[in-house]
Structure 1
């Protein structure tokens, strides 16, 4: 698609299906939501943790029952009215909404495109819910507008559906490095959630999308949350930023592998219109032309495993010739059949129906045509070196090892990339002269046979980051234990060599690559 004039899109008021946004309307809505304390904490207090968990499973009955009991006891309350309407997707009495939105008014909500009247009731046209998070700048919260989901619609989503804050977007926001930068590109912004996060550490953000509707809702979300350093541009992939470079690129692109077949819905929020995993390849290859030296690109993606081909070999080939550092982590895989089931359900089509079976067959036909057996999902971090050739090429599979650490990975990634650069810039002799410390989240674990004097296994465990575990021998364990910043690596190894009665140069040569790995994985840190 052809990119729009960026200044025009940034200045143009948001338009929904039923109305237009003015700054006064947005200000009134913000004031009402604030006065109602319409927050994640408030909603959890309204219906309880169990109902909250059910909502994450797309089940609203427990929450609705809790709100009904509360209304019978206390009458209509603004947070409960707003939650029923915009989170549960159910109609509410007009008078209740008028009381919940005294500044905006029901007429203002209609003009804003949030609701429509049906008799004496008001029905939602958009989803509006609170969102809270913690990042390197501390705790934060916003209100996010998106299209109504499957629960409220009671059927499949429309192809122009604009997704709200989902699991993938939360994953990417947690991965996002938060080092202060001048410029960030959010490629495929959707409802704008990544752009909002980037605006906390960037001077300016450019957010692009192929969907005009997504850009309109993203612009509304920026206005609603008083964020003014985001520019919105319309167009496909890197078209809207042709010839421009950025300090950081973030992207939750429409990477879902969808059959290019008649009658298969092509949802704009997840389908980039290319065959197989070609969309992810295009973004990876295109990033190099849009990064300043030292700039970083972070994205989510899928890649296909084909008969006789390793997916990582294919993905590595996409990076060849780009001149970029690359760190790609595969978090999980699904069989072709499981993948098809997941994304057909995601579109709102229920299993066991003729439509589900028809789409299922189309997905399997598409995979079979390319001999795809499974699909991988993971994180991509790319970087333009400040000078010279790339020094980092790391493709690894970390299936099931992350636990609950995903939300804080951005800080870890930035720290580990810095540690990689630090150790890569030093010769072995310089590393031997360095002073190291153990990262604060690292613990040591020892296993003994009952009654044994010496351990049978020694492990280093990482509490944060990727939750890695490293098996150690006696010498490495002793070195880590003595890494408190007081003595140089060489001095520590010399003492261990004397204690173990082994040759010092040989032990230092043996331990040096292990030390570099521990630095690059975040177990050890430079003391200075």
Structure 2
């Protein structure tokens, strides 16, 4: 894989102007090849899209065919599609090569929509050719484009303002672009020089200053510095450390087992400013019958700086399913001898550590603010989630800090309102007057469903911001003919949970 040249500002400006003039947007590309082809493209099947664009020589179609799908085009077609940059300029940026009268893409450049609390828009994001464009396995130095995991982390990023953000393992730079929307400055690091050039190119192409790049592993490039926020989609994939197993830079940092995530958790406190947060995706192993989340607890406890931790396990795979996932990800065809050999290497590696399963999820860590109670929350949430979680996570942290300042008397004196996305469901046995099950459903955030008893349901139902919680609890105790002090002692801790998880909001 050839090295990318440092992006020339004049050429980048010409490319940006040409892309805008051609209307090269995500919506326009989807409209150009239609919904069936768009669905197929998302699955790595390019034929329907290429057929939909066949015979078209307009700039949008040429750009979609070459820069989105990675297909070749004539020099004349590219010259017309990119009149300011030209085919030679595209090659000078390292995004294509010219073979006679044909332009052959050496990278992808795709439009990517974004939306967050501050607005919506679009980026153009360059990355290496994917499996579909290459027609085979990926090179080990591959720089990944925007995929499901990177979009997940982008949606998880806190939406509150920050001064300095560190993006560890930046890849094509999508997390850095996202962080720059709320931060004054972003430092993006990676062990791959090619990834750093892609990040610099994407920042320049989208007109974003304030994003700098540094080479190195984990926190080495920023030793002694402090950041308000750290984000990372690190190369956490568990890979056998044996000869003959490809080590892809975008997913494998050379650590054994889940040691990379352990090293990140153990070291991130050193680069966080007081109260600073870190967010990352990661894997953790279930070893020798020990719960994977308990192992993450150990990593957090080993940090030299006290850390708040909110860990959410979204999925758990057995060793075979995990091995198949990542062998296929590298482009090896199921059923082939090479596929069987790689699967066996993964299973043997897991067996040496007596791994029974691998968990995947989100880690939110915070350097515990002085004088505040520590947050230690480890949970499994497998239900589908709609929309970005960043705003909810920010609200939950703010709620935790506020609750930490309220003793039970102060909480009882507070008012609360039910969040707009909360609904109640009651289930009755046929002919029964009283419900056997009462559920609170959350429409946003983590889409939690909680079983509640009649007392808590009554309190939530009455929480309209008018009366203090203590007054409502006393009235409910009188209605249910139970001891008011005992009911208060039972309900207030659960109110704290409802406030943190977003079912209730304090007035």
TM range (shorter): over 0.9
Aligned partners of 1:16 and 1:112 also within 8 Å:
no
Query: How far apart are the structure 2 equivalents of 1:481 and 1:388?
Result: 34
Q: How far 1:84 moved relative to its partner?
A: 0.7
Aligned partners of 2:385 and 2:446 also within 8 Å:
no
Query: How far apart are the structure 2 equivalents of 1:354 and 1:117?
Result: 36
Deviates more, 1:489-498 or 1:110-119: 110-119
Q: How far 1:19 moved relative to its partner?
A: 5.0
Aligned pair 1:224/2:210, yes or no? Answer: no
Aligned partners of 1:187 and 1:253 also within 8 Å:
yes
Query: How far apart are the structure 2 equivalents of 1:404 and 1:488?
Result: 32
- Flag the 1:474–1:32 CA change in 2: closer, same or farther, 3 A: same
Structure 2 counterpart of 1:460: 440
Q: How far 1:458 moved relative to its partner?
A: 1.1
Structure 1 counterpart of 2:501: 521
Structure 2 counterpart of 1:145: 126
Aligned pair 1:266/2:247, yes or no? Answer: yes
Query: How far apart are the structure 1 equivalents of 2:4 and 2:417?
Result: 60
Structure 2 counterpart of 1:4: none
TM-score (norm 1): 0.94
Aligned partners of 1:280 and 1:302 also within 8 Å:
yes
Aligned partners of 2:137 and 2:332 also within 8 Å:
yes
Query: How far apart are the structure 2 equivalents of 1:291 and 1:30?
Result: 35
Q: How far 1:388 moved relative to its partner?
A: 3.7
Unpaired runs of at least 5, structure 1: 1-14
Q: How far 1:321 moved relative to its partner?
A: 4.0
Aligned partners of 2:289 and 2:356 also within 8 Å:
no
Q: What SS is found at the alignment partner of 2:466?
A: strand
Higher relative contact order (Cα pairs below 8 Å, separated by 6+ residues): 1
Aligned partners of 2:372 and 2:404 also within 8 Å:
no
Structure 1 counterpart of 2:420: 440
Number of positions where the alignment pairs a residue of Structure 1 with one of Structure 2:
505
375, 384, 404: which one aligns with 1:392: 375
Aligned partners of 1:18 and 1:111 also within 8 Å:
no
Structure 1 counterpart of 2:171: 190
TM-score (norm 2): 0.97
- Cα deviation digits, residues 149-173 of structure 1 (max 9, x gap): 1111111111110000011100000
Provide runs of 4+ in structure 1 moved above 4 Å: none
Aligned partners of 1:19 and 1:110 also within 8 Å:
no
338, 346, 355: which one aligns with 2:321: 338
Q: How far 1:502 moved relative to its partner?
A: 1.6
Q: What SS is found at the alignment partner of 2:389?
A: helix
Q: How far 1:456 moved relative to its partner?
A: 2.1
Unpaired runs of at least 5, structure 2: none
Q: How far 1:512 moved relative to its partner?
A: 1.1
Aligned partners of 1:16 and 1:216 also within 8 Å:
no
Aligned partners of 2:143 and 2:250 also within 8 Å:
yes
- Cα deviation digits, residues 415-458 of structure 1 (max 9, x gap): 01111222222111111101111111111111223343222211
Deviates more, 1:90-99 or 1:219-228: 90-99
- Cα deviation digits, residues 174-208 of structure 1 (max 9, x gap): 00001001110001100000000000000111110
Aligned partners of 1:189 and 1:214 also within 8 Å:
yes
Aligned partners of 1:94 and 1:106 also within 8 Å:
yes
Aligned pair 1:413/2:396, yes or no? Answer: no
Q: What SS is found at the alignment partner of 2:243?
A: coil
- Cα deviation digits, residues 337-380 of structure 1 (max 9, x gap): 11111111111111112221221111111111111121100000
Q: How far 1:18 moved relative to its partner?
A: 6.6
Aligned partners of 2:229 and 2:278 also within 8 Å:
yes
Structure 1 counterpart of 2:260: 279
Q: How does 1:7-22 map to 2 (within 5 A)?
A: 17=3, 19=5, 21-22=7-8
Q: How far 1:486 moved relative to its partner?
A: 0.5
Query: How far apart are the structure 1 equivalents of 2:491 and 2:300?
Result: 31
- Flag the 1:61–1:137 CA change in 2: closer, same or farther, 3 A: same
Deviates more, 1:89-98 or 1:30-39: 89-98
Q: What SS is found at the alignment partner of 1:490?
A: helix
